[in-house]
Chain A
Amino acid sequence: MSGNNNIQYKPVQIVYPKFYINPNFSEIKSLEKKTIKWNLVTTFKVVSKNPEWDSITISIRLSLYREYDAAKISELVTESTYEIETGATFEQKYYIIGKLINQTSAHAQGAWAVKHSNPVLLSEIPQTYNKYLSEETGLKKDIYEKWQ
């Protein structure tokens, strides 16, 4: 159980609805870093469980592409669900969502590293920390709309 100013939250489920490796790349022997590109798509949804607890699911779609022809090399979808106490202020929600996105992206990194058996692909670890927060400008709007 973690908390921010007495708002408690904890992960209750981590699942991977999709894991894909392009067969053309499954036996790949080398991969130059400057020829690949990561794509990270983050969404979240909030469900009210009861007056005391909400449930937040963070979904991260992590895709690895070959840059010159946009061929998808591999993709992993991670969905981490957290229970969180109700009553958070907007500032607390913003802080907590940022932390949960970082936590979920680290879940995705951990899964990426153990799901791949090809040493070339498993050695490619996406750098995800604060990625969403630095690139996403709509997070505050999303929180207003999705988390009452």
Chain B
Amino acid sequence: MPHKVSLSVNLKGLTLKNPLISASGTFGFAEDFQRINTFKNEDIGAITLKSISLKPRMGNPPPRIVETPSGMLNSIGLENPGVALFKEKHVVKLKKYDTVFFGNIVGSTIDEYAKVAREFNDIDAVSALEVNISCPNVKEGGIAFGTDPKQSYKVISGVRKNTDKLIIAKLTPNVTDIVKIAEACIDAGADMVSLINTVNAMAIDINTRRPVLFNNKGGLSGPSIKPIAIYLVNCVYNYIKENKLDIPIIGMGGILTYEDALEFMIAGASAVSIGTGSFYDPFIYKRLSKKMTEYLRSKNIYDINEIVGSVEMNKH
């Protein structure tokens, strides 16, 4: 008899049936994938909703998307209906699905982050708030906060004062030392960190000699950024381990196969997010759950948590 393998992970008291999470901005408000025949939101460990700001945001003009080697650039520009319309139209639909939901909030000012966080207090379906201090595609807010430890601290502590929900700080790779930003967020009261957001990037049309994206630059995602993400997850994991902190990491960046997901977890991620890979294969969550179970069984591992942070560095 094959032994029972558990994919369940615990993030600060929050139980996920598997460690696979949909990344913010790639899954809308959990309504779109559901239209695909036989797709089940319930197959996903947790669903991160698209970034919500206080007021509606129109987003950037097109083109917003371009494919690049083993990846894609996007510059959506945080298009969203604003928190009021989100609560009125979309929240009610979340209750239909037996899975965990994370909200994702963004602001142009520190005060706006706090206000949006407060608006989520009466949304029971949302268990945690991911704070987007790392969007590269808008003029103010987003990444402006996430590249400066002091600003990151202010945003997270502002949110902390206004919510009892778990806080996930979403970090950008577009910094010299990501650990300093992680440290500031943790000091300010973040319960978890998620990384990485997309990498600053550009594509140019050689015939028109103009950038392909209207916004000129965008954020790179997909398998091309995976090794960068693995390294940064491991950097943050080492910091957390050395300081004996209880801060789970949600790792993401270019996951397409079960090997990718396992690599993140071995590097130190307690759970992983998937985005671009789900455009290639919408059933990626189900596929990876199955494959990860098979892997663990073949290695005689009963509990996926055993592999978290199990990387052994080469000694010199």
Does A associate with B in a complex?
no
